[in-house]
Chain A
Amino acid sequence: MAASVHSAGLDTARSALESACEEVTDAGERDAVDGVAASTVARPASTEQVADVMRAAAAHHLVVVPRGRGTKLTWGRPPTRVDLLVDLSRMNAVVDHAAGDLIVEAQAGTSLADIQETVALAGQRLGVDETVIGASVGGTLATATSGPGRVTLGTVRDLLIGVTVVRADGVVAKAGGRVVKNVAGYDLGKLIIGSYGTLAIVTQAVFRLHPQPGARRVVTQTFDEADHAQHLVQVVLHAQVVPAAVEVDYQSEGTGTVAVLLEGTEAGVEGRHAATVTLWGDGAQSSAEPPVWWGRYPWDDERSPGGEPGPRRTAIKATFALSGLAEVLTSGRAASGQAQVPLDLRGSAGAGVLYGSMPADADVNAISSVVDQLRSVCTSLGGSVVVLDAPSQVKAAIDTWGPVPAIDLMRRVKDQFDPDHRLAPGRFVGGI
Chain B
Amino acid sequence: MTSTHGTESTAGPVEGPLAPEDTPSTGTAGSNPEAMAAVTSRAREVLPARAVITDRIQLRTYECDGLAHYRVTPALVVLPETSTQLAAVVASCAEHQVPFVARGSGTGLSGGALPRADGVLIVTSRMRTIREIRREDQRAIVEPGVINLDVSKAATPVGYYYAPDPSSQQICSIGGNLAENSGGAHCLKYGFTTNHVLGAEFVTPAGDVVQLGGLAPDAPGYDLLGAVVGSEGTLGIATVVTLRLVRLPEEVRTMLCGFRSTDDAGAATSAIIGSGVLPAAIEMMDALAIEAAEAAVHCNYPDGAGAVLVIELDGPAVEVAHEFDEVERLCREHGAFEVRVATDAAERALIWKGRKSAFAAVGRISPDYIVQDGVIPRTALPEVLRAIAELSSSSGVRVANVFHAGDGNLHPLVLFDDAVEGAGDAADKVSGAILDLCISHGGSITGEHGVGIDKSAYMPKMFTDDDLDTMQLVRCAFDPYSIANPGKIFPTPRLCGEVPGHKRGAHPLVEAGKAEAF
Contacts and interface: CB of A to CB of B under 8 A. Distances in A.
A and B in contact, CB less than 8 Å: yes
Interface of A: 98, 100-103, 123, 144, 146, 154-155, 157-158, 165, 167, 171-175, 177-191, 193-195, 199-200, 210-212, 214, 234, 237-238, 240-242, 264-265, 267-268, 270-272, 317, 319-323, 351-353, 378, 381-384, 386, 401-402, 404-410, 412-417, 428-430
Contacts of A319: 216-219
A264 B319 contact: yes
Contact of B216 (A210, A214, A240, A382): A382
Nearest to B223: A190
A363 B459 CA distance: 56
21 contacts: A101-B377, A171-B470, A173-B467, A179-B376, A179-B443, A185-B471, A186-B227, A187-B226, A187-B230, A188-B470, A188-B474, A190-B223, A191-B227, A210-B278, A237-B247, A240-B249, A265-B319, A267-B318, A378-B216, A381-B216, A410-B224
B518 to A, nearest CB: 11
B168 to A, nearest CB: 15
A179 B216 contact: no
Given A154-B195, A178-B442, A406-B212, A194 B218 contact: yes
A267 B480 CA distance: 57
Interface in B416-465: 442-451, 455, 459, 462-464
Interface in B363-395: 375-379
B276 interface: yes
Contacts of A412: 477-478, 480
B24 interface: no
Contacts of A155: 217-218
A98 B379 CA distance: 9
Contacts of B212: 405-406
B477 A175 contact: no
Nearest to B275: A211
B469 A171 contact: yes
Contacts of A184: 444-446, 451, 455, 459, 462-463
Q: Closest 5 CB pairs between A and B? A: A190-B226, A382-B215, A383-B216, A268-B319, A173-B470
B187 A416 contact: no
B488 to A, nearest CB: 11
B173 interface: no
B152 interface: no
B322 A268 contact: yes
Contact of B470 (A167, A264, A404): A167
B467 A384 contact: no
Given A317-B218, A378-B216, A406-B210, 20 more contacts: A98-B377, A158-B191, A173-B464, A173-B466, A173-B471, A174-B463, A177-B444, A178-B442, A179-B442, A184-B455, A190-B227, A267-B321, A271-B316, A272-B319, A352-B137, A352-B215, A352-B217, A382-B199, A382-B214, A384-B220
B216 A181 contact: no
B371 to A, nearest CB: 15
A352 B224 contact: no
Contacts of A378: 216
Contacts of B216: 319-321, 352-353, 378, 381-384
Given A173-B467, A183-B230, A272 B316 contact: yes
Contacts of B84: none
B79 to A, nearest CB: 27
Given A182-B375, A321-B139, A404 B442 contact: no
A2 to B, nearest CB: 27
B147 interface: no
Interface in B325-382: 375-379
B218 A353 contact: yes
B414 to A, nearest CB: 20
Contacts of B48: none
Interface stretch (B68-76, B89-97, B298-306, B403-411): B403-411
A327 to B, nearest CB: 12
A353 B181 contact: no
A428 B183 CA distance: 33
Contacts, number: 274
B222 A195 contact: yes
Nearest to A272: B316
B181 A187 contact: yes
Tell me which of A102, A173, A185, A401 has the highest count of chain B C-beta atoms within 10 A of its own C-beta. Answer: A185
B443 A194 contact: no
A186 B214 contact: no
A191 B226 contact: yes
Contacts of A272: 316, 318-319
A180 B319 CA distance: 25
A383 B317 CA distance: 34
A179 B187 CA distance: 13
B229 interface: yes
Contacts of B223: 157, 190-191, 193-195
B276 A212 contact: yes
Tell me which of A319, A383, A402, A405 has the highest count of chain B C-beta atoms within 10 A of its own C-beta. Answer: A405
Nearest to B139: A321
Nearest to A191: B227
Given A183-B447, A265-B322, A409-B477, A157 B377 contact: no
Interface string B238-269: 00000000010110000000000000000000
Contacts of B219: 319, 384, 404-405
Interface in B91-137: 134-137
Contacts of B35: none
Tell me which of A158, A323, A414, A430 has the highest count of chain B C-beta atoms within 10 A of its own C-beta. Answer: A323
B51 to A, nearest CB: 28
A76 to B, nearest CB: 10
A214 B137 CA distance: 30
A351 B215 CA distance: 11
Contact of A175 (B229, B247, B471, B478): B471
Contacts of B375: 179, 181-182
Interface string B174-208: 00000011010001000110110001001010000
Contact of A242 (B181, B276, B315, B322): B315
A381 B214 CA distance: 10
B8 interface: no
Contacts of A322: 136-138
Given A158-B195, A183-B448, A383-B215, A402 B220 contact: yes
A405 B446 CA distance: 32
Contact of B134 (A180, A323, A414): A323
A271 B191 contact: no
A381 to B, nearest CB: 7
B16 interface: no
Contact of B447 (A181, A187, A242, A410): A181
B501 interface: no
Contacts of A428: 221
Nearest to B201: A405
Contact of B463 (A181, A185, A407): A185
Given A173-B466, A237-B247, A321-B215, A100 B274 contact: yes
